[in-house]
């Protein structure tokens, strides 16, 4: 569906929606969902399956079951998800895997993701310094290596550290744990960006710049993404450069095979 | 009065409107006989009046989890899926 109503839906994705027998909607914006309902007479929202206190893993499995029940009934099913259906989304990948395992044809159409909007709205080119992306809780739950010479993009920071899978927000003490972890590689005064893409075409992207140290105390929603620009310069790898230089010399003399 | 969702779609797909200033957009919407809620939302950049007009409730956004301690659930789920798929194939 892309991120912004009217702007991002591809002609092919729209055609899939219109040609489906049944459409399931996993969208982050209720008004965008109303727009989708104009495109098909049988749009079924996946929103009612969320519930505070219920494991989201269970919710996502229910979504897969709902879609597969219609596939098994012989229907042409289209799952419509906000952004890119395969980016930071479990059930679209899972339902395709399950459908194929049962012998049905299934595939994913790419969409304009929040990540794509972020690059455009913040003027960031991930190719310039490199760019690491993590779901914020993964950074806490597992040993990961951060590279502060690259961009670091953290998703779902508002929920960081939620081990229950049943909350839609944690809070300042949980974000303090994240801050402590990030402080190993980034100075407290490092300017970071809080970003949210526009979902309605009358909105502007929301961009806030704060010091890293303030991260635990700013209002955040699940749609907000945290961007840490590089904190240190790229360091030349002298050993590899020397090796490449030696190869270049060999190539000039015609001795490289 | 023109339909609000149709007007939102028209703004979203029009290069001259998508990044128009609030004043310009407000003028266009008044000419198009948009609802007062849409005009107010476009002018302020605040969607609240639109949500009231359309009766839209906030949606939840997360669609992925990190699940330490839930890995066993995942394996169990996959085993159940495999056995039910096998059962279906042998029907």
Higher pLDDT residue, B40 or A255? B40
Closest CA of chain B from A15, distance in Å: 16
Burial B35-46 (b: 16+ CB within 10 A, else e): bebbbbbbbeee
Res B84: pLDDT? 55
- Is A56 a known active-site residue? yes
**A31 with A111: CB under 8 angstroms?**
no
Percentage of chain B exceeding pLDDT 70: 75
Give the helix/strand (H/E) hosting A151. Answer: strand A151-155
Res A23: pLDDT? 98
Contact B59 A223 (CB under 8 A): no
**A110 with A86: CB under 8 angstroms?**
yes
Cβ atoms within 10 A of the Cβ of A250, count? 12
> Exactly one of A76, A82, A174, A241 is catalytic; which is it?
A82
Whether A49 shows a pLDDT value over 90: the answer reads yes
- Is A119 a known active-site residue? no
Test mutation, B4, B12, B13, B30, chain A, max A CBs within 10 A: B12
| A-contacting residues in B 24-83 (Cβ below 8 Å) | 25, 38, 41-42, 45, 47, 50-51, 54, 56-70, 73-74, 77, 81-82
A31: chain B residues, CB-CB within 8 Å: 5, 8, 47, 50-51, 54, 56
Res. A165 pLDDT band, cuts 50 70 90 = confident
> DSSP assignment, residue A168?
S
Q: Which of B62, B58, B78, B77 is nearest to A166 (CA)?
A: B62
**A224 with A153: CB under 8 angstroms?**
no
The two tokens of residue A60 are: 């996502």
Residues A154 and A185: their CA atoms lie apart, in Å, by: 15
Give me the residue spans of the domains in chain B.
Answer: 4-54
pTM: 0.89
Residues 6+ away with beta carbon under 8 Å from A172: A216, A217
B58: chain A residues, CB-CB within 8 Å: 30
**A166 with A53: CB under 8 angstroms?**
yes
Residues A24 and A78: their CA atoms lie apart, in Å, by: 6
Summarize pLDDT for A5-45 with one digit per residue, the tens: 999 999 999 999 999 999 999 998 999 999 999 999 999 99
Please determine, for the modelled complex, whether the ipTM score is greater than 0.95: no
Q: Can you list the domains of chain A with their CATH numbers?
A: 11-101 (3.40.1010.10), 114-228 (3.30.950.10)
Q: Report CA torsion sign: B37, B42, B43, B49.
A: positive
- Is A44 a known active-site residue? no
Closest CA of chain B from A45, distance in Å: 10
Helix or strand or coil: residue B47? coil
A213: left (phi over 0), alpha (psi -120 to 50) or beta: alpha
B70: chain A residues, CB-CB within 8 Å: 55, 57, 165
């Amino acid at each position: 569906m892309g991120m912004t109503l009217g702007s991002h839906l591809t002609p092919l994705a729209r055609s899939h929606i219109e040609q489906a027998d049944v459409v399931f909607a996993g969208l982050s914006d209720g008004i965008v969902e109303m727009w989708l309902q104009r495109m098909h007479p049988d749009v079924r929202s996946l929103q009612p399956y969320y519930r505070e206190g219920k494991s989201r893993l269970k919710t996502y499995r229910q979504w897969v079951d709902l879609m597969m029940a219609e596939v098994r009934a012989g229907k042409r099913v289209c799952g419509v998800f906000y952004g890119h259906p395969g980016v930071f989304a479990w059930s679209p990948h899972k339902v395709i895997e399950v459908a194929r395992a049962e012998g049905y044809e299934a595939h994913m159409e790419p969409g304009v993701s929040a990540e794509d909007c972020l690059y455009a709205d913040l003027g960031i080119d991930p190719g310039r310094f490199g760019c690491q992306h993590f779901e914020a809780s993964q950074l806490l739950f597992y040993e990961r290596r951060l590279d502060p010479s690259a961009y670091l993009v953290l998703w779902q920071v508002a929920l960081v550290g939620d081990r229950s899978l049943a909350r839609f927000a944690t809070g300042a003490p949980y974000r303090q744990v994240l801050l402590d972890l990030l402080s190993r590689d980034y100075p407290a005064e490092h300017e970071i960006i809080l970003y949210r893409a526009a979902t309605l075409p009358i909105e502007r992207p929301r961009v806030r710049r704060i010091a890293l140290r303030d991260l635990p105390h700013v209002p955040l929603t699940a749609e907000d993404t945290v961007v840490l620009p590089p904190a240190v310069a790229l360091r030349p790898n002298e050993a590899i450069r020397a090796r490449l230089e030696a190869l270049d010399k060999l190539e000039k003399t015609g001795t490289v095979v | 009065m023109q339909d609000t969702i149709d007007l939102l779609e028209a703004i979203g797909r029009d290069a001259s409107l998508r990044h128009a200033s609030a004043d310009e957009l407000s003028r266009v919407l008044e000419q198009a006989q948009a609802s007062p809620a849409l005009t107010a939302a476009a002018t302020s950049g605040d969607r609240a009046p639109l949500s009231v007009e359309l009766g839209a409730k906030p949606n939840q956004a997360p669609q992925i989890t990190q699940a330490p301690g839930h890995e066993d659930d995942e394996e169990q789920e996959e085993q159940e899926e495999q056995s039910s798929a096998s059962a279906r194939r042998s029907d």
